[in-house]
Chains A and B, each alone.
Chain A
């Protein structure tokens, strides 16, 4: 059987949720389960199951050595009374807003600007390189830039901008903001790559039609490209949302959540309580709250996106 080319004939929207009767293909129904099962099994056994262990632990007091002691919801009441929680939440919120907006927008800009032009690959390269660095590598370079008297201070001083004396890693909220800048530097390329996938899958017909109608540049983007990019935008923002709520590596290596816990995020609080203080039960409770929050926010976002697309389609 020859491979049909990729030019679809009609509108590309295929409904995401299944359950439509009548469209025959009962053989495919079982096939569908078969197709989805390897993914589900892998994820369920290696990701969900260990997390279940954490859920159980969150109702106990456990030092990692002796048996866990059931204490009901005490960990949770303690968590909500914890004074460090306010700062942690505030910082996490900054991360969420920061990383779902700026790196995503910049990634989109890079993708759109570099799509289809000659040499686009090379122009994109500076943005891709940062992702090649490991989390620790990223933190080493940016610590080096952001430290008191480091490159950032040098540049700001040379440009006569305020901040030549600021201790970026010590003072809040500058430390969180600077780390968000470092993160943006790395993530923009990733987002650009994903947006490129989206741009590449946009069919030519609606674009040609709009061009014939006289649309160009910004209005072409706004009315045709952007809506058609929606599935990928959902993915990119969804992933950024999840990643921002789980922010850990970069904060841990750059400031350890300090000084005085003022740059902690929820994931850092979780790690400290579980591993550094050795209170695995309490840390698990923090982890559970963090995960449920992440899950709820993301679910709400995804449902909205999928629903609004179905309304369009």
Chain B
């Protein structure tokens, strides 16, 4: 037994050393330029297959391939990327978030400027001017849009048909639809207390006072202002009126919508993938519509959008390759493949989207018919966002505490904005 054990151990050790010695470094030499393989660091690990497809396409079209390095936990990813700036492991390309987080790294002088890229792209019709603002600091642009999604109301078409309802064009119609659904024992709206707990806050506020919404993001308005309090009161009434699903349910929203237990839910257009994965067909089983403003006196519909940037570093391993890649990324061939493989809209208005519902929304939103509001997740500074998400979650469990929750958020906001 002893001899056998020794031999076995020796074999294991030898094999381990042999395998370990092949470090796993398969990339090219990089160095001073001429890179043909770029690494795209991202916190959307679930999109790896899509990134890989794009990598193959770019290799064919511009001779530069791309491999994704996916992370799934955003805070860890953030810390990692920031730490990487000081090491030799700088990313060629990486995804980030607009708003305060982008501002932070731009101010630290880390991000490559893309002003010329944007000018050319807007002139060529590849990017819309509306989007530019989210990527502008001090009059210069940084990064390019990785993706864009608009936040709309998804609904179960079969449930709607059974109740004899049509997609609403005013808030009053939306609420009367909800009432009809309630009468039939169907929960009208989906709501969750984790991660996306801000959704209804966002929607109710941009539908009443988009200006106030934007001011909250810059610290010019307070969470305790009357306009915000009114939104919370409306939200509370809706919760107490039984319009929402159980916020604590961990059940997949796509499943809730599919089974018809819940009729509608506000999501980004990327939610399409979740629905089709459930075997649902757009147009027959489900659909989406633009959410009307709460306040009908507002002239234009305000729609929330989320757009994540694709960035490169000012001191990237190969700045030319990275910039060329970003140029290609916003063009039509890349965007067409990118948006359609994921079943989402594209930042490039020239891209044809097969799904008619999605296409209609993309045209209206991208064409300036709606006012766009940056998603709360990006608009709010990080510490304020954290406080807000906690507050909204707690509010959902105890709606009566809304005043206290708003005060908590404001406290975090005060801490953040003092001295800025």
Contact = CB atoms under 8 A, between A and B. Distances in A.
Contacts of A43: none
B250 A169 contact: yes
A167 B75 CA distance: 28
A65 B108 contact: yes
Contact of A259 (B76, B248, B250, B383): B248
Interface residues of B, number: 32
A54 interface: no
Given A65-B85, A258-B194, A277 B386 contact: yes
A150 B246 CA distance: 12
B28 interface: no
Interface string A136-163: 0000000110011110000000000000
B200 to A, nearest CB: 15
B104 A260 contact: no
Given A66-B108, A256-B194, 19 more contacts: A3-B2, A63-B104, A64-B83, A65-B108, A143-B250, A144-B250, A147-B249, A149-B246, A149-B249, A167-B246, A169-B248, A258-B194, A259-B248, A260-B391, A260-B395, A275-B75, A275-B76, A276-B75, A279-B383
Interface in B361-412: 382-383, 386, 389-391, 393-397
A171 interface: yes
Interface of B: 2, 75-76, 78-79, 82-83, 85, 104-105, 108, 110, 193-195, 246-251, 382-383, 386, 389-391, 393-397
A170 B246 CA distance: 10
Interface string A109-153: 000000000000000000000000000000000011001111000
- Give chain A's interface secondary structure class: loop
Contact of A276 (B2, B105, B386, B396): B386
A272 interface: yes
A255 B396 CA distance: 14
Interface residues of A, number: 31
B249 A64 contact: no
A304 to B, nearest CB: 37
A238 interface: no
A79 to B, nearest CB: 15
A275 B79 contact: yes
A284 to B, nearest CB: 12
A195 interface: no
Contact of A260 (B79, B85, B108, B397): B397
A276 B391 CA distance: 16
Interface in A156-207: 167, 169-171
Interface in A249-285: 255-256, 258-262, 271-272, 274-280
28 contacts: A63-B82, A63-B104, A64-B82, A147-B249, A147-B250, A148-B248, A167-B248, A169-B248, A169-B250, A256-B194, A258-B194, A258-B393, A259-B194, A259-B394, A259-B396, A260-B394, A260-B395, A260-B397, A261-B390, A261-B394, A272-B386, A275-B76, A276-B75, A276-B382, A277-B383, A278-B79, A278-B382, A278-B383
Contact of A258 (B83, B250, B390): B390
B247 to A, nearest CB: 8
Contacts of A280: 79
Contacts of B394: 258-262
Nearest to A136: B72
4 A-B pairs with the lowest CB-CB distances in the bound complex, closest first: A260-B394, A275-B75, A259-B393, A64-B82
Nearest to A262: B394
Interface centre among A66, A147, A169, A276 (most CB of B within 10 A): A276
B193 A259 contact: yes
A193 B62 CA distance: 57
B397 A64 contact: no
Nearest to A167: B248
A238 B383 CA distance: 36
Contacts of B251: 147, 149
Contacts of A167: 246, 248
A150 to B, nearest CB: 8
A80 B186 CA distance: 47
Contacts of B395: 260
A261 to B, nearest CB: 5
Contact of B78 (A3, A144, A259, A278): A278
A148 B195 CA distance: 18
Interface centre among B85, B105, B251, B391 (most CB of A within 10 A): B251
Contacts of B110: 65
B382 A260 contact: no
Nearest to A65: B108
Contact of B382 (A171, A258, A259, A277): A277
A171 B394 CA distance: 10
Contacts of A272: 386
Nearest to A170: B248
Contacts of A147: 248-251
A148 B246 contact: yes
B397 A170 contact: yes
A182 to B, nearest CB: 13
A261 B251 CA distance: 21
Nearest to A275: B75
A196 B2 CA distance: 23
Nearest to A83: B408
A3 B3 CA distance: 12
Interface string A36-65: 000000000000000000000000000111
Contacts of A143: 250
Given A169-B248, A171-B397, A276-B386, A258 B193 contact: yes
Contacts of B383: 277-279
A143 B250 CA distance: 7
B82 A65 contact: yes
A171 B76 CA distance: 28
Contacts of A169: 248, 250
B246 A260 contact: no
B377 to A, nearest CB: 12
A148 B194 CA distance: 14
A261 B250 CA distance: 17
